[in-house]
């Protein structure tokens, strides 16, 4: 089996370094996605609460009042 030269070792080290860098970047992206998902879920909950508060402030139409009183 031929002996690997210095150029081959340098190429191997460069490849390993590149691979480690890609793995690190991938982990950072995954963490960013988790944070973004959590922030989006929190914003969705706030928006839902705002909508519910707003709907409580809207008066019912006469028909809706009658239907509600009949438990329809």
Each residue's pLDDT tens digit, 34-69 = 999 999 999 999 999 999 888 887 777 787 777 778
- What element of type H or E holds 48? helix 6-57
- Residue 71: pLDDT above 60? yes
The residue to which tokens 């340098």 are assigned: 10
The answer to whether the beta carbons of residues 60 and 68 sit under 8 Å apart is yes
d(CA 50, CA 26): 36
For the chain, percent of residues with pLDDT exceeding 70: 88
CA distance 13 to 10: 5
Identify the pLDDT of residue 61.
78
> What is the pLDDT, as a whole number, of residue 1?
45
- pTM for this predicted structure: 0.58
Cα 17–Cα 18–Cα 20 angle in degrees, nearest 5: 65
């Amino acid at each position: 089996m031929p002996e690997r030269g210095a150029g081959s070792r340098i190429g191997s080290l460069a490849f390993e370094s590149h691979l480690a860098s890609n793995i690190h970047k991938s982990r950072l992206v995954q963490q960013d996605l988790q944070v973004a998902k959590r922030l989006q879920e929190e914003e969705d909950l706030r928006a839902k609460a705002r909508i519910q508060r707003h709907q409580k402030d809207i008066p019912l139409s006469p028909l809706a009042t009658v239907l509600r009183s009949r438990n329809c």
